[in-house]
Amino acid sequence: MIPEGSLLIAEDLHKTYAHTPALAGACFSIHPGEVVAVLGPSGSGKSTLLHCLAGIVQPDAGRVRYAGRDLTALSDAERSALRRTDFGFVFQFGQLVPELSCTENVALPLRLAGIRRKAAEQVAMEWLERLEVADSGSKRPGEISGGQGQRVAVARALVTSPRVVFADEPTGALDSYSGERVMELLTEAARSSNAAVVLVTHETRVAAYSDREIVVRDGRTRDPDHSL
């Protein structure tokens, strides 16, 4: 059963690394603007599912469809182009470029899209303000806290107005207070931009920020709401 109006759909995904099965029949769907948490114990296949949904990893079997297109049938170049324009990413450790200032980090996706430096940095500074880290703009990632770094990473993920934000344990390296603030700001910003969020986490506290939860176990998904 495919839920109507879905933006991103995965059907029966399988992926094996060497002899390790990472996905063994995973299904997923998300609507525009929806925040879906992917829960499950460590090693259950959450990150592999996220990577398949985002077109970073090709599944061995199964299909991923995004906005009516078969993502698994695109060439590598087409998939990376799509990732740049339509998707944003936040990982456990911000993965900011250490040599660049935080403003330059957030401006980077816009620069890669061909926007001139001054205009890109202007938009980047507005996003840093929304994420309450305007003061970090001129600093480098090494000079700010983990929580501030994740807010900068969220700003960078949203700066191109993506339709889907993929977040893999975005608060996994933070204390609970800064983690909750990052989640509040991430979901608020995503909702106001109508971006869908695929939120991978093993913390139920973090999943509380989602509209819906799905659980992954041994590479299989359970979706209590959709019986996928």
Ligand X SMILES: Nc1ncnc2c1ncn2[C@@H]1O[C@H](COP(=O)(O)OP(=O)(O)O)[C@@H](O)[C@H]1O
Cβ distance 54 to 87 under 8 Å? Answer: yes
In angstroms, rounded to a whole number, what is the distance separating the alpha carbons of residues 201 and 206?
7
44 binds Mg ion (CB under 5 A): no
In angstroms, rounded to a whole number, what is the distance separating the alpha carbons of residues 195 and 187?
9
Number of residues forming the site for ligand X (CB under 6 A): 11
Among 13, 27, 35, 46, binds ligand X (CB under 6 A): 46
Q: Binding string, 3-42, against ligand X, x = CB under 6 A?
A: --------------x--x-x-----------------x-x
Question: Is 58 or 193 the residue whose CB approaches Mg ion more closely?
Answer: 58
Question: Is 93 or 139 the residue whose CB approaches Mg ion more closely?
Answer: 93
47 binds Mg ion (CB under 5 A): yes
Burial 144-170 (b: 16+ CB within 10 A, else e): bebbbbbbbbbbbbbbbebbbbbbbbb
Q: Half-sphere exposure (CA, 13 Å, Cβ side) for 92?
A: 9
What residue type is assigned to position 8 of the chain? L
In angstroms, rounded to a whole number, what is the distance separating the alpha carbons of residues 141 and 126?
18
Among 6, 8, 11, 44, binds ligand X (CB under 6 A): 44
45 binds ligand X (CB under 6 A): yes
Q: Half-sphere exposure (CA, 13 Å, Cβ side) for 199?
A: 31
Q: How far is the CB of 85 from ligand X (least distance, A)?
A: 26
Task: Tokens for 207, please give them.
Answer: 């999943």
Number of residues forming the site for Mg ion (CB under 5 A): 1
Question: Is 22 or 157 the residue whose CB approaches ligand X more closely?
Answer: 22
Task: State the DSSP H helix or E strand holding residue 23, giving kind and residue range, or none if neither.
Answer: strand 20-30
43 binds ligand X (CB under 6 A): yes
DSSP letter for 137, please.
T
The option from Mg ion, ligand X, none interacting with 162 (CB < 5 to 8 A, set by class) reads none
- What 3-state DSSP class applies to 107? helix
48 binds ligand X (CB under 6 A): yes
105 binds ligand X (CB under 6 A): no
The stretch among 16-24, 46-54, 69-77, 140-148 that binds Mg ion (CB under 5 A) is 46-54
Question: Is 40 or 94 the residue whose CB approaches ligand X more closely?
Answer: 40
Of 202, 203, 192, 198, give the one whose Cα is nearest residue 29.
Answer: 198
Residues that bind ligand X (CB under 6 A): 17, 20, 22, 40, 42-48
Q: Would you tell me which residues interact with Mg ion (CB under 5 A)?
A: 47
